[in-house]
A and B are shown apart, each in its own frame.
Chain A
């Protein structure tokens, strides 16, 4: 089966007063339709930037996609001009963001914003669009949906606004929904509601979802596969069971080890990763994680390891020594 999305060698740079920020460095992966992919990493790892790059939403200046191909349904999105891209956005790929208060326009009603999206991409009358909008709000679990179409964003709570965003994203039945930290700003009980909702919607509608977050817990609950990013590159990727249970990359191991868990035995110590993430203005040669890695050898400082597949498993690691580190899984 041909994958829905195929990204090849994506590179994005930001040209600033202080120098060149290498935000995304040679990222390649594929997604199948109906797959839920978790893209995980800390701030500055490039997870959001690479998604924006895919949608050609990187402002130039100072940003520029210097290299790469993004194949969606037989088209390389990076070769499209703005007009063509606008047809793709919203219809084939939809994106929802972290803060629903700023991603929804406060001076228009929710209903207006959803119908606007519908009318842009479909041949509908206003009446049909409004009905569809009401259906969508119901689909995302907003009580009294039809009446709430005339409400403004500030009349909705945080969780409800995020649901409205999801409704907007799904309105044109996209093939791929990109969710950039959609629950980071929400309370944990509301987050649980949204995750539950997204799982149900995905089963019903069957679209592929890319869920970008720093929260390894959320990804474990939701995703089928995971990409772990560090300093603009993917350093480990694969099926979630493999990543969580048979972690290979020292960074991922460190990350999982530094998370406290509710079922930890008392007295468990948190393993912290020493040092700081590298400055993207001056990325070192070789493996970006080498400076902080306890397993580093000479080679790591000089040559950047490529993503290597592990035989027979849906699991790839970018580390020179992954075979020696075999067997260390998370707790």
Chain B
């Protein structure tokens, strides 16, 4: 099914460590292993969902993929080109093909710039278009995302959260990118507005042939929009599979616990649901446990889980898991 489709992005063993905080002048704390060896592919025009809780590294993966953070190790191959091989200028050009939509609609737009300038900024940087051409393009973009094009001269504070998020989407689309990383684009929005924005994103994907990496912690929303889903825990991917496969046949104990923890808006289901309540808290990413990252909270951990890190491998067709107990 996926084998014939072309791979747009390949991530190989990506690592991003952040330097630890200074304990004293002579000693720095351990590195924070935000992303610790992550590999996956994203196919053209698909949506790969990336979920996980605090400290799992999903936001860092998104940002490192666009080289907003310098990777500590690993390769990101975009359309056949390894980003590590590119110089600064070539990288800036590659940026025009991969864009990002940010989480906080209140902080991701410069409050002192007009909407027109914000959406037109990519055009200023990457193209030689004239002012009229740029203005037309900006109006076109605003129209595409469902905003009135006459509001080009307004400032972000005059818009609501959902509308600001649309401005962010318009900005991301300015250069006709192939790949868009959606970093928690709806988490800050009201529930009734979330559906609007998600519908818009799906609509745009069909119309413009976009490929998405959809990062979020709301499992139900990610499941709704994604074709495939990856679950991350403490810097590593624990499971990756087709959307339905992961729901009906999740193999990793963390994925199972995560699924059962998501509240379902249905009182009958809520009563009968199989509840797996995990013990304890998420460990500190600068001090991950020995062996499998999940062993401190795993309900079915065995001896080997405390000694050896499980291998991340394909156990069934297109279903990848990192767990000793899955054969």
Contact = CB atoms under 8 A, between A and B. Distances in A.
Contacts of A259: 191, 195, 220, 265
Contacts of A260: 198, 220-221, 223-224
A277 interface: yes
A220 B281 contact: no
A187 B195 contact: no
**Residue of B217, B220, B275 contacting most chain A CB atoms (<10 Å):** B220
**Residue of B193, B219, B259 contacting most chain A CB atoms (<10 Å):** B193
Nearest to B271: A221
Contacts of B317: none
Interface string B263-298: 111111110000101100110000000000000000
Interface string B236-269: 0000000110010000000001111111111111
B199 interface: yes
A244 B268 CA distance: 9
A97 B219 CA distance: 24
A262 B264 CA distance: 8
**Residue of A189, A193, A216, A241 contacting most chain B CB atoms (<10 Å):** A189
B199 A276 contact: no
B150 to A, nearest CB: 18
Interface stretch (A46-54, A66-74, A123-131, A266-274): A266-274
Nearest to B194: A258
A220 B53 contact: no
B198 A220 contact: no
B266 to A, nearest CB: 6
A159 B258 CA distance: 16
Given A42-B190, A157-B281, A266-B243, A221 B195 contact: no
Contacts of B148: none
A193 B266 contact: no
Contact of B259 (A214, A215, A217, A262): A262
A261 B264 contact: yes
Nearest to A243: B267
A263 interface: yes
Contact of B266 (A244, A254, A266): A244
Interface in B187-242: 190-196, 198-199, 217, 219-221, 223-224
Contacts of A258: 191-192, 194-195
A109 interface: no
A256 B265 contact: yes
Contacts of A244: 265-267
Contacts of A218: 263
Interface in A213-244: 214-221, 240-241, 244
A192 B244 contact: no
A261 B223 CA distance: 8
Given A188-B217, A214-B190, A255-B191, A261 B198 contact: no
Contacts, number: 130
Interface residues of B, number: 42
Given A157-B281, A196-B277, A261-B266, A271 B195 contact: yes
B54 interface: yes
B161 to A, nearest CB: 8
Contact of B257 (A160, A189, A268, A270): A189
B267 A241 contact: yes
Task: Give the interface size bracket for A toward B.
Answer: 35 or more
Contacts of B262: 188, 217, 262
Interface string A191-202: 111011000000
A33 interface: no
A293 interface: no
B275 A262 contact: no
Given A261-B220, A262-B223, A272-B192, A160 B275 contact: no
A266 B227 CA distance: 10
A43 B190 contact: yes
A268 B160 CA distance: 27
Given A187-B53, A189-B257, A255 B192 contact: yes
A266 B282 CA distance: 31
B190 A277 contact: yes
B55 to A, nearest CB: 9
Contacts of B195: 258-259, 270-273
A330 interface: yes
Contacts of B259: 262
B191 A42 contact: yes
A264 interface: yes
B182 to A, nearest CB: 15
B264 A159 contact: no
B297 to A, nearest CB: 8
A220 B266 CA distance: 6
A281 interface: no
A190 interface: yes
A276 B257 contact: no
B120 interface: no
Interface of A: 42-43, 157-160, 187-193, 195-196, 214-221, 240-241, 244-245, 254-256, 258-264, 266, 268-274, 276-277, 330
5 contacts: A158-B54, A244-B267, A262-B259, A262-B264, A276-B163
